[in-house]
Amino acid sequence: MKFFITGATGFVGTYLCRNLLEAGHEVTGVGTWPEHRLISHDQFHYISADTTQPGSWQDALTDVDAVVNLAGKTIFNRWTTRYKIAMYDSRILTTRNLVDALPDGRDVVLCSTSAVGYYGDQGDAVLSEDAPAGDDFLARLGEHWEKEALAAEAKGARVVLARFGIVLGRGGGALGKMVPAFRMMVGGPLGDGMQWFPWIHMDDIIAAVKFLVTTDATRGPFNFCAPNPVRNLELAKALGDVLQRPAVMPAPAFMIRLVIGEFGNTLLASQRAVPAKLLDSGFEFAFPELHDALVDLV
């Protein structure tokens, strides 16, 4: 298959490109780096471009079989007004430009990223894909993002919306920020730790993308998170156990909000998301339990 991947230089994008290439697929990746410093392969074509702007990068979409849209400014930053605009534009404008460039009537699948932040802070409610959207910034961003992707259906594309939980993988992401703190004996829960933490192992992210791209009957939103979410307190304890470090240094909620502002509310929000549609479609998780995922990764 011919894949086109935006956000190809990102944490998930790099893993996905490598996996697809190892499986024998042809991959065109787009990112903001001048060149992809981590991948060199005969079947890999890299385009350096600002995907929020129309341009020649769109020409590569004319004959692809699958598009995986991973582009977007990281949420792990202080949310100034200017940065929130950049977060929004990097997702909305990129997706709009992708859809505009898709040829009419071609049999193509668009797997476009979203996030469980779509649901907002929902406490202990179990969230399957039919749960309503929240009303905070990330929830509204998720709604708009998905709406832009679904516009591809008018061109005959099959659209899958991948609502990512917190991705656990080697060399970056959430663990890249958490593990050093635990190793220095200052790890612990965020706030009271009672918020639900929808997580997923990187291997299952990659497998789920490939599963949905190749399963013709699948479309619409899918929660990309393990079937057994845990509370933040449980995550801290499990990570401490695996690293053989204490997990007794909580970060008070008021301090989180003081230091990182509005983004702190996201870290304290609770989403008990479950992958109902993935399971109903027959997908099998390699890492359904957090302890096994952490042992594998750290």
Q: How far apart are alpha carbons 77 and 150 in whole angstroms?
A: 28
Enclosing domain of residue 15: 2-168+199-225
Alpha-helical regions (H) of 9-64: 11-22
Q: Is residue 150 part of a domain?
A: yes
Mean per-residue pLDDT, 179-197: 80
Residue 266 lies inside a defined structural domain of this protein = no
CATH of the domain at 22: 3.40.50.720
> Among positive and negative, which fits the CA dihedral 171, 244, 274, 193?
negative
For residue range 86-128, what is the model confidence (pLDDT) as tens digits? 999 999 999 999 999 999 988 999 999 999 999 999 999 999 9
- Position 238 in a domain: no
Structure tokens at 14: 């790099």
The reply to whether 297 falls in a domain is no
Categorize the per-residue pLDDT at 179 as very low, low, confident or very high, splitting at 50, 70 and 90: confident
- 54 lies in a domain? yes
Per-residue pLDDT tens digits for 201-221: 999 999 999 999 999 999 999
Per the domain annotation, does 280 fall within a domain?
no
Whether 148 has a pLDDT exceeding 90, the answer reads yes
In a domain, 128, yes or no: yes
The answer as to whether 24 is a domain residue is yes
The tally of domains found in the chain comes to 1
